[in-house]
Amino acid sequence: MQAQSELISLPQTLTEMFTRGRPDYERAVRGIRWGEAPVYVLGSVRTLPAALAAGYAVEDLLGYPAVVREASSFLSYTLRVLRRGSVVVAISNQVEPDALSLVKAVQAARQQGAQVLAVTSPSSPLAAAADRVFGLPDVAGAPAQGLAEACLEHASAGDLALIAARLLKRPQASLERLEKNWHDLPGHLDWIVSQLAAAVRSFAAELRPAGRIFFAGGGSYHSSALRAADLARCPDRVSGIDLASLRGRMASDAAVVFLSGSRSRLCKEAATVAAELKARGTAALAVTDSNDHELSHGSRLALLLPDLAEVPGSILALAVAGWTAREVAERPRVTGASR
């Protein structure tokens, strides 16, 4: 259960980030002049799902359009249309082998007058190249590029958007509720680590006979699905996919894990697509919350999580789906006859 051990220190890291780290994060966000132009969000090949998470959160919480790009694509196609004063958010970590392309993209953006806010380790080359830094803390005992780091990057992306919304918008009841959900997130993650090991093993066992496994989601859950699949490190068998892409023909030996929540704007679509797959004989499973009755009842097996708003809920889904993906990858596939 290596994935479980990686998550043990994450709740404490997030608690400190949301409390003692908040003043530093607010200063970083205040140091950027936010306008109505698109917010450009950049990631490396590995952190592109976290960049997508930031893009969804920016559009949802701030109401600004977001343009998400991988660093080399940004340099080749998007840089030439960048306007002076545009906000660029770059997400990376100093241990990434392809981080250099992101540093080059940030340097080029600044040369054109853009403002760059980097979500990264304060000691990384990306931090040195940016205007402001939204510092990623280390998770004690967790390996680089592992499950805890993935959850931390996605949580940082959401926290950045929430802080910006709180600073730039008038007080709103919806933001107050989201802030409470956000501060409840570490406790829910702690519950997952301590209570769901047996459930995750059963969930992974249900997936193991499948020839292909797809993690699927919409909105913020799409980014979690992509990153969960990546954590399996077996792209020939485990993939992340958007909900809309599931409406095509699916192999009979495939299994689809839907990541969703009752407060996701696409929860109805997830339930509809799951029902379509089930009718065609494809195994449909779900990681969702206890109030998402339509999806959970329509799935072969559902792993139920606490009910949170979409952004923090997608972090819980990433933790469980990533853990499941690692469980599937660490054990050999079993056929229906040998189960």
- Distance set, CA 114 to CA 117, 118, 130 (Å): 10, 12, 10
CA distances from 115 to 90, 108, 110, 217 (A): 11, 11, 6, 31
* Residue indicated by tokens 């923090």: 312
At residue 36, the pLDDT reads 74
Q: How confident is the model at residue 339 (pLDDT cuts 50, 70, 90)?
A: very low
Does residue 14 or residue 281 have the better pLDDT? 14
Return the higher-pLDDT residue of 158 and 172. 158
Give the tens place of pLDDT for each residue, 244-281: 888 766 777 899 999 999 999 999 999 999 998 888 88
Radius of gyration of the chain (CA): 19
pLDDT of residue 278: 86
Q: For 125-156, how does the pLDDT look when each residue is reduced to its tens digit (9 = 90+)? A: 999 999 999 999 999 888 888 999 999 999 99
How far is it, in rounded angstroms, from Cα 256 to Cα 140? 33
Nearest to 286 by CA among 275, 269, 300, 306: 300
133 DSSP β-pair partners = 118
Mean pLDDT, range 327-332, rounded to an integer? 82
Order of all β-strands in the sheet with 254-259: 238-242, 212-217, 254-259, 283-289, 301-305
Structure tokens at 28: 């970083």
- Structure tokens, 249: 């023909």
Which range among 209-223, 245-259, 288-302, 322-336 shows the weakest confidence by mean pLDDT? 322-336
State the CATH architecture for 2-187: 3-Layer(aba) Sandwich (3.40)
Where does CATH 3.40.50.10490 sit in the chain?
A: 2-187, 196-330
CATH of 196-330, one of 3.40.50.1100, 3.20.20.70, 3.40.50.10490, 3.40.1710.10: 3.40.50.10490
